[in-house]
């Protein structure tokens, strides 16, 4: 990654990590996206362990981006438009701590920008309920198993059925036309 010496990381938990890849993947300035687990206490957790709700990890995506081409603030805007930020119990039909929404900041500047964007969303009146998304310091990120990477490309039919069935697409269409 030498040609991208100013590349930065953004880490977002937004429920099922499969659904958090596609909104960011074909955007100029996004250099890569990895699905994985973060925020917990177990080293190198497996999908099964994370789903058991015993590791403290969240399903998340870690995005490598060039801030000169894709500012962090724009990634935050896109993030808010992929989730139900008012749901403290998970996302859509995925329930539990591992599916809760979190912005994991890597720098003090990211923390400030995340807090400002959360405040702006709360004050916008866009949602009636309070914003439940947490903002936490980034910790070790463990890439998920290979079969989870680019799941939407490897299993397009199953992915499409999952997204529709979960209620995510209907929610996004209703709240972000």
Catalytic residues: 16
Helices 108-124 and 72-80: crossing angle in degrees, nearest 10, is 40
| Beta strand extents in the chain (DSSP E only) | 8-14, 30-38, 58-65, 90-91, 94-95, 101-105, 134-137, 141-143
Tokens standing for residue 128:
């009636």
CB-based contact 76:11 (threshold 8 Å): no
The Cα-based distances of 162 to 12, 93, 99, 168 in angstroms read: 20, 10, 15, 9
Question: How wide is the angle at C-alpha 18 spanned by C-alphas 49 and 32, nearest 5°?
Answer: 105
Residue with tokens 């119990």: 89
Closest C-alpha among 12, 16, 99 to residue 62: 12
């Amino acid at each position: 990654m030498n040609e991208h010496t100013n590349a930065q990381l953004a880490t977002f938990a937004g429920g099922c990590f499969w659904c958090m890849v596609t909104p960011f993947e074909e955007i100029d300035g996004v250099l890569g996206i990895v699905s994985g687990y973060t925020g917990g206490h177990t080293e190198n957790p497996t999908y099964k362990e994370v789903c058991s709700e015993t590791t403290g990890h969240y399903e998340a995506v870690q995005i490598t981006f060039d801030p000169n081409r894709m500012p962090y603030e724009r990634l935050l805007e896109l993030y808010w438009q992929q989730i139900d930020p008012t749901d403290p119990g998970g996302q859509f039909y995925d329930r539990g701590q591992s599916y809760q929404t979190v912005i994991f900041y890597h720098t003090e500047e990211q923390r400030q920008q995340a807090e400002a964007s959360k405040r702006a969303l709360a004050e916008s009146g866009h949602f009636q309920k309070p914003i439940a998304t947490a903002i936490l310091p980034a910790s070790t990120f463990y890439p998920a198993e290979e079969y989870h990477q680019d799941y939407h490309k490897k299993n397009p039919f199953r992915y499409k059925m999952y997204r529709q069935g979960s209620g995510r697409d209907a929610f996004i269409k209703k709240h972000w036309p």
